[in-house]
Chains A and B, each alone.
Chain A
Amino acid sequence: MEETQDFADTPYNTVDEAVPSGQSDAGLMKQMLINEKAAPEILTYQADLVARLEELIENQDQRIQDNDSPDAELIRSLYLQELLRVKYLLRSYLRTRIQKIEQYVMHILDDPEYQERLSPKELEYAKEFFVTSGQHLKEKVLQHMPPGFDKLLKQSATSEGNDTIPMPDLDRHVFCHVLEDRGTVELEETGTETAEFNKDDLYVVRYRPIRDLVQDGWVRLI
């Protein structure tokens, strides 16, 4: 457990049981992957964590190549197994994000706050994807519609604002695990309903009231 002391000050140190050094990042990534999968909206890109994992993968690759003696077969296969698991986590994480970006591309590009949550490469991807799929819809449907009904982002010329943008449902219910004592949390905007969030409590709640807690790492989604 001593090796995990570096992470003692983050609320995530409870995610892993006894883990050897270097694997805490994998544990963190596992939680980030689960959060990303469970949250209705796209979460902030974990740039540092991804960079650390990429380094880890490279080191592990090197270690496997260095251990090429026949006696080290078992060690090598253990290293390889770990490597594949880390790679899986990282790929799944990025894959889940790309899928969410595609699903809500217009909503994300419409809002600078969401744009900041993407990595530069993801943002580039989102922009190009929007152009591609917008073009496709235009060519197939929109350009054949009468004037006033030929816009991608509006149902008709009389719409107030953009009303054809798919949005994530922030009021969907999620399962969450409280990682640190947090006291009373308001579950309604009006403050009429509250819950006591204590460490290791489990709740099924609407996502919206706890979205900041997820973002800041006070609770994790399960």
Chain B
Amino acid sequence: MASYLLKRILWMMPLLLGISLISFFIMHLAPGDITTSEASFNPKASEESRQKLRALYNLDKPVIVQYGLWVKRLAKLDFGTSFASHQRPVFWQTTDKDGNVTLGMIQEALPITLLINVLSLLLIIGIALPLGVISALKQNQWPDRGITMFVFLGFAIPGFWLALMLMYWTGVQHSWLPISGLESMGHENLTWPAQIWDTLQHLVLPVFISAITGLAGISLFVRNGMLDVLHQDYITTARAKGLNENKIIYGHALRNALLPLITIFGLSIPGLIGGSVIAESIFAIPGMGKLFYDAVLMRDFPVIMGILTIGAILTMLGNLLADVSYAWADPRVRRGAM
């Protein structure tokens, strides 16, 4: 196990290097250099501050040296400071000489996005599992056909449109749910259970919107997985020895059908992070997606690069976690790969 883990972690290094290369290339796509866009963003930027920026990004050195330096800073997780938000650190908090702590932008945004994604994963599992199982057990009967229609609609519905419709229906027409931000006015004056309740209400729509595509995908996946497993010899054996049907379905079939789900969840992480842009910018939630969207509009390059890299690292960690859990759950894989 330990050597397998080590191998996987070592394998992340060249991957990271590749990602840094792509990010670096994108940074150099910009017409002119970043100091021109900084200057256009802030007309008061003096020649002196431009020089400072050039030195910070080593734009006066040859490209290959620039890349080396950029990787060196990445290795220290140093993403610099934001152009647009008063020099706030992009990634993690800094303390100045008076002991004032400035929180990092990603440090603040990441937990919010993670919370939304974890909740939406729980929602997906809670709804998609039963749907998939029912669909497989009632194959080609009306529940299966209904669920299949739902799956196709879930794949086709544009998340931002559904968000807009739900916002209008639940928020504007009926005022059932808050439609923007994570806290109501006066949130800080509430008792803590009321604060949690308030935030939960704000989370309902964004979590649902983030979950909708996944819901469709995972239901379909569970259905097909169950159908595959139900045709296996060991299920026939279980039936032949007279095991009761519930035990066969939930004890034998479901457990095996669920194994590949671990990998699917690992693979879906980049999609979930990327999808957070739309949900968060519609509902004005200060997470990674909103931060990224704002940074794109402001051409705030350090923030853009920081989020791209952190997003990629998260994806790789997610895949690693998925592979390790898979090996842990399936003894055959464990013996083969480790």
Real binding pair? no
